[in-house]
Structure 1
Amino acid sequence: MNILVLNCGSSSLKYRLFDMASETETAQGLAERLGTAQSRLEHVAFPGTPGETRRVVEEPIADHAGAVALAFAHLTGPGGPVRQASDIGAVGHRVVHGGWRFSQPVVIDAVVEEGIREVIPLAPLHNPANLTGIAAARDRFPDAPHVAVFDTAFHQTMPEHAFLYALPYELYEKYGIRRYGFHGISHSYIAARAAEMLGRPLCECDLVTVHLGNGDSVCAVKKGQSVDTSMGMTPLAGTIMGTRSGDLDPEIGLFLERRAGMDEAAVDDLFNRKSGLFGICGSSDMRDIHRRREAGDARAELAFAMFAYSIRKYIGAYIAVLGRVDAVVFTAGIGEHDPATREAALEGLSERGIVLDLKRNRAALGRAMEIGREDAPVRVFAVPTNEELQIARQTLQTVNAPGAS
């Protein structure tokens, strides 16, 4: 079965096509700046193979429907991996927030669309775009089953004592205020990969998974299930990130409104887009921060130290939550490619059985490797994530499940 995976942003559309018989990616693309004169689509057929072809189209693309139509034209064009719409057996959609409604992937129907719409207040920038992409794709591929795969679903196994905030309980009942967590598709993928590398069933593994990119989160995985995670009701909570503050005293927002005259929008912009690494040193790109550190830039050194410390705190906390740990697993842009961050994040954890092999750690640049010392009780891995393949796998499982419509 060919499965098309779609990830819709407010003005973008990412897509991947997989032949699930071999789990081979046969095409990928990105349409961006939709609705502007600068819109463009880049399409790659058979990526990473000798037969790879790349096309760039720079022309007005009005909306997500136009982007889906253009992507389909490239998928079925000369030399494309499919010939017609019926060659696509299912479409998997990444949906950022499933709220309290969705704890697993589901075949999309009107009820599911309404459920996604119901939790828009929890993800006002993401879920509307996801719904727009779903509508466009269902129009283009009306005969294929469409599956929603939620970035929050993996964390729905958290126990109540972990996901609730110490606020009046009726606020949870009335408004759904609780910890949801994000990056669940990535955490679930790398947890499964770590189990393979351990040579054990996932249901027997206790892991701390660490997703480090521009947004970061840490997850405690007990017997294959998420039992706690660093992000909260929104992606703002948890570790320091590229431009997000991570955990902070909630009174700070009120203080800034009272003393600095900032309104709600300004505080939101400050916490989400002007804080984190960027707020400390003026850059959110870890490569730039490392260059500045090497040049003796004290502010860059401070930002890096704060970043690593915030990760280390969560790793330590989740070791306590799990009681025992089989492995710590790093992934995403920084987690896969940055040995210095991995080294700093694990500093001082040798008494907890976590010891890096420095040579292997520095060799792990975007490929799956064991990077811990061989005689250490807790193993350490760097594993490239593949959220699109995980969505395709979950889409296939969902449409093949008994009773799927």
Structure 2
Amino acid sequence: MNVLVFNSGSSSLKYRLVDSTNGKDLCKGRLERLGEEHSHARHQWLSGTGVRREQGEDYDSLDHSAALQHIYQHLETLAEQENLPSPEAIGHRVVHGGDRFRRAVAIDQNVITEIEQLAPLAPLHNPPALAVINQCREHFPQLPQAAVFDTAFHQRMPAHARRYAVPDHWYRDHRVQRYGFHGISHGYAARAAAQQLGRPLEQLKLITLHLGNGASAAAIKNGHSVDTSMGMTPLEGLVMGTRSGDVDIAAALHVAREEGLDLGQLEQELRQCSGLLGLCGSNDVRDISSRSDQGDAAAKLALAIYAYRIRKYIGAYIAVLGGLDALVFTAGVGENSAAVRAMACTDMQNLGISIDKARNRCPGLDGSKAIHTPGAPVTILIVRANEELEIARQTMALLNAR
């Protein structure tokens, strides 16, 4: 089955046409800087003769709706010129499914209404996903469409990991609890790690680290998430590109009182002005690492705080799991920053974690993505993120079960 996947970010839109039976990409692309002065698109596809082709385009400011129109036109052109097959189903990534959605679901008006009601919990992500869903239902009215939720993978977390120590009516009346995010990525990384290890996922204790501009850790036992660093919203947990991660709420309230900030302004400070950006003026780990290498004190401190928080969560999750079989790095920073991986694994030999410096610098040279010291008790793996393939597979599984 050929599944067209849409992955909507706050300022980006990724798409991919996947043959979900074999995982083969027929075409894919990414439109970035949506809502900014200039937008950019990058398209890749497999030509009719089997050659990989690529094309970049620059546009004046696009929103998600206009970006979708460009994608439609591109797919129609490829169908005419390269015999690109038509999609048979559409899968959408939706960040927040609350406690209502425990798995992928077929999209209907009730599902759309519930996603809309959850938008205040993921204001940067659910609204653009809804915009894409609604437009796709108009453009492809004959195709089945599925919503795949980032929160679903974490829905089996035990109550002692989900609940906050706040008044009980917060939970009963407002559903205040920890939902977790990046579940599509964590689930894919866990299954890929099990495959690399040659062991059943149901027998493994794993920590997966999704490190990108957004970042989260997950403790996975016997194939299920038992804890994760993000909470009711994607703000809690690890230090991120522009998000604070864990912070004393009283400190935030103190600053709000001192500076006269309203709740919206305070939320913006924590979501868009904090994290690495707040510490050193940049949210790009590549830029920060380069500045750190050149002796920039703010960049050095930012990286140290970033890696320290990761190490704290690794240690905590080893305790939660009662041991560890593999530590898994995935997503842009996790896959590409040897410096971050090395710092995150520093001084953890007593927990069985020992990174091989040469393998870490050049993973894959020996055909493996394993970067631990030979003989170390804990395997350290790099898994290339593939959320779109995971969405395609869940979409196909949902349709096959109907």
Q: TM-score range by the shorter chain?
A: over 0.9
Structure 2 partner of 1:19:
19
Does 2:246 match 1:283? no
Structure 2 partner of 1:79:
81
Work out whether residues 27 and 81 of structure 1, in 8 Å CA contact, stay in contact via their aligned partners in 2. Answer: no
Structure 2 partner of 1:390:
390
Segment of structure 1 superposing worse, 351-360 or 98-107:
351-360
- 1:374 Cα offset (Å): 2.1
Segment of structure 1 superposing worse, 115-124 or 242-251:
115-124
SS at structure 2 position matched to 1:369: coil
Post-superposition Cα deviations, 1:319-359, rounded to whole Å, max 9, x if no partner, equal: 00000211000111111111121111111211111111221
- 1:63 Cα offset (Å): 5.6
Work out whether residues 209 and 334 of structure 2, in 8 Å CA contact, stay in contact via their aligned partners in 1. Answer: yes
Unaligned runs of 5+ in 2: none
Q: In 1, Cα distance between the equivalents of 2:321 and 2:59?
A: 52
Q: What letter corresponds to residue 152 of structure 2 in structure 1?
A: A
Q: In 1, Cα distance between the equivalents of 2:350 and 2:59?
A: 58
Q: In 2, Cα distance between the equivalents of 1:40 and 1:330?
A: 28
Q: What letter corresponds to residue 396 of structure 2 in structure 1?
A: L
Does 2:369 match 1:369? yes
Q: What letter corresponds to residue 14 of structure 1 in structure 2?
A: K
Q: In 2, Cα distance between the equivalents of 1:344 and 1:369?
A: 18
Change (3 A) 1:296 1:203: same
Change (3 A) 1:142 1:61: farther
Does 2:91 match 1:97? no
Change (3 A) 1:289 1:39: closer
Structure 2 partner of 1:251:
250
Does 2:316 match 1:314? no
Q: 1:65-76, aligned counterparts within 5 Å?
A: 65-76=65-76
- 1:81 Cα offset (Å): 4.8
Segment of structure 1 superposing worse, 59-68 or 163-172:
59-68
Structure 2 partner of 1:207:
206
Segment of structure 1 superposing worse, 211-220 or 364-373:
364-373
Q: In 1, Cα distance between the equivalents of 2:121 and 2:368?
A: 34
Q: In 2, Cα distance between the equivalents of 1:234 and 1:348?
A: 31
Q: How does the TM-score come out when normalised to structure 2?
A: 0.92
- 1:59 Cα offset (Å): 5.7
Q: In 1, Cα distance between the equivalents of 2:164 and 2:344?
A: 27
Segment of structure 1 superposing worse, 117-126 or 232-241:
117-126
Structure 2 partner of 1:349:
348
Q: What letter corresponds to residue 379 of structure 1 in structure 2?
A: T
- 1:97 Cα offset (Å): 0.5
Structure 2 partner of 1:8:
8
Structure 1 partner of 2:122:
123
Change (3 A) 1:154 1:299: same
Unaligned runs of 5+ in 1: none
Count of residue pairs the alignment pairs up: 398
Change (3 A) 1:377 1:60: closer
Change (3 A) 1:61 1:73: farther
Q: In 2, Cα distance between the equivalents of 1:11 and 1:328?
A: 30
Q: In 1, Cα distance between the equivalents of 2:304 and 2:37?
A: 42
Q: What letter corresponds to residue 92 of structure 2 in structure 1?
A: H
Q: What letter corresponds to residue 374 of structure 1 in structure 2?
A: P
Post-superposition Cα deviations, 1:99-126, rounded to whole Å, max 9, x if no partner, equal: 0110111111122112212212212232
Structure 1 partner of 2:187:
188
Structure 2 partner of 1:108:
107
Q: In 2, Cα distance between the equivalents of 1:169 and 1:394?
A: 35
Q: How does the TM-score come out when normalised to structure 1?
A: 0.92
- 1:313 Cα offset (Å): 0.2
Q: In 1, Cα distance between the equivalents of 2:33 and 2:316?
A: 40
Q: What letter corresponds to residue 271 of structure 1 in structure 2?
A: L
The two structures, once aligned, show a CA RMSD in angstroms of: 2.3
Identical residues among aligned pairs (%): 49
Change (3 A) 1:258 1:129: same
Q: In 2, Cα distance between the equivalents of 1:125 and 1:81?
A: 36
